[in-house]
Amino acid sequence: MNQQSRMWLRVLVDYGALAAFGIAFVITHDLLKATPVLMIGSVIAVALGYVIERRLAPMPTIYGVFALVFGGLTLVFHDKSFIKMKPTFAYAAFAVMLGAGMAMKRNPLKLLLGSAVVLPDPAWRTLTIRYLLFFVASAIANEVVWRTQSDSFWVMYKIGYVVVLLLFSVSQVPFLMKHMQTDETPAPPEPPDVGF
Dmax over Cα atoms in the chain, in whole Å?
55
In a 3-state reduction of DSSP, which class is residue 190?
A: coil
- Sequence-ordered list of residues with C-beta below 8 angstroms from that of 67, at least 6 positions apart, any chain: 17, 38, 39, 42, 86
Residue 10: per-residue pLDDT: 75
Rounded to an integer, what distance in angstroms lies between the CA atom of residue 98 and that of residue 128?
A: 7
* Distance in angstroms (rounded) separating the CA atoms of residues 47 and 149: 34
pLDDT score at 52: 80
Over residues 27-85, the pLDDT tens digits come to 999 999 999 999 999 999 889 888 887 888 777 888 899 999 999 999 999 999 999 99
Are 35 and 75 within 8 A, CB to CB? Answer: yes
pLDDT at position 193: 37
**Where does a domain end: 55, 77, 99?**
77
Per-residue pLDDT band for 136 (boundaries 50, 70, 90) equals very high
Per-residue pLDDT at 1: 64
- Asked if residue 35 and residue 99 are part of one domain, the reply reads no
pLDDT of residue 97: 93
Q: Are residues 148 and 117 part of one domain? A: yes
| Domain end point (choices 57, 77, 97) | 77
Same domain for 98 and 183? yes
**Is the confidence at residue 196, as pLDDT, over 50?**
no
Residues 89 and 73 in one domain: no
Taking all residues of the chain, what is their mean pLDDT, rounded to a whole number?
87
- 44 and 126 both lie in a single domain: no
End-of-domain residue from the set 77, 97, 131: 77
Query: Total structural domains in the chain?
Result: 2
pLDDT of amino acid 62:
87
Q: Are residues 190 and 106 both part of a single domain?
A: yes
DSSP code at position 78: T
Closest residue by Cα to residue 67 from 29, 36, 98: 36
Same domain? For 191 and 120 the reply is yes
Name which of 20, 9, 7, 11 is nearest 159 in CA terms: 20
d(CA 94, CA 100): 10
Among 64-73, 110-119, 170-179, name the one with the lowest average pLDDT.
110-119
pLDDT band at 99 (very low <50, low <70, confident <90, very high): very high
Q: How confident is the model at residue 183 (pLDDT cuts 50, 70, 90)?
A: low
Mean local confidence (pLDDT), 152-164: 95
Assess whether 101 and 10 both reside in one domain. Answer: no
Print the domain residue range for 21. 1-77
Residues 98 and 192 in one domain: yes
Could you tell me which of 96, 59, 67 has the C-alpha nearest to residue 84? Answer: 67
Round to whole Å and give the CA distance between 26 and 23: 5
Domain identity same for 101 and 191: yes
- Tell me, yes or no, whether 55 and 69 share the same domain: yes
Band (pLDDT 50/70/90 cuts) for residue 182 is: low
